[in-house]
């Protein structure tokens, strides 16, 4: 159990603000009556938000995993590459997760760390 460094109040603050912010994003345009739309270029920027945020967040976690004290770990790197490959090839999130999990857990078991 890795205890988080936040108080219970801070955790609830994060949850409630994240919920309100997410709802605001979702309701934003539906709340405004009429057919006003965003400028074309802004819509185009928004389209790339997930693919712009998630890879950058994940790259340091893959290269310098916390579990090995920040040292690059061949097993976790392999699991990451396999997950990406299966995700691109099958276009299916669940298959990709399963493939990565099999490599990771199988590798941990084979190297006797379990």
Distances (CA, A) of 102 to 47, 76, 85, 99, 113: 32, 11, 14, 5, 15
Q: Is 92 in the site for another protein (CB under 8 A)?
A: yes
Q: Is 110 in the site for another protein (CB under 8 A)?
A: no
Q: Is 46 in the site for another protein (CB under 8 A)?
A: yes
CA 30/CA 111 separation, integer angstroms: 53
Which of 29, 70, 74, 110 binds another protein (CB under 8 A)? It is 29
Binding to another protein (CB under 8 A): which residues in 53-72? 53-63, 65-67
Binding to another protein (CB under 8 A): which residues in 5-24? 5-6, 8, 10-19, 21-23
Which of 69, 71, 74, 114 binds another protein (CB under 8 A)? It is 114
What torsion do the CA atoms of 13, 32, 36, 18 make, to the nearest 10 degrees? 10
How many residues line the site for another protein (CB under 8 A)?
Answer: 83
3-state helix, strand, coil in the chain (%, to 5): 75, 0, 25
Q: Is 105 in the site for another protein (CB under 8 A)?
A: yes
Length of the chain counted residue by residue: 114
Q: Is 1 in the site for another protein (CB under 8 A)?
A: yes
């Amino acid at each position: 159990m890795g205890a988080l460094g936040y108080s219970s109040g801070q955790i609830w603050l994060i949850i409630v603000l994240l919920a309100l912010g997410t709802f605001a994003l979702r309701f934003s345009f539906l709340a405004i009556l009429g057919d006003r739309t965003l400028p074309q270029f802004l819509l185009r920027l928004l389209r790339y938000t997930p693919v712009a945020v998630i890879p950058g967040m994940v790259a340091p976690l893959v290269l310098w995993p916390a579990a090995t004290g920040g040292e690059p770990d061949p097993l976790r790197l392999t699991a990451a590459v396999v997950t990406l490959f299966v995700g691109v090839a099958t276009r299916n999130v669940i298959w990709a997760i399963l493939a990565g999990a099999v490599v990771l857990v199988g590798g941990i078991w084979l190297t006797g760390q379990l």
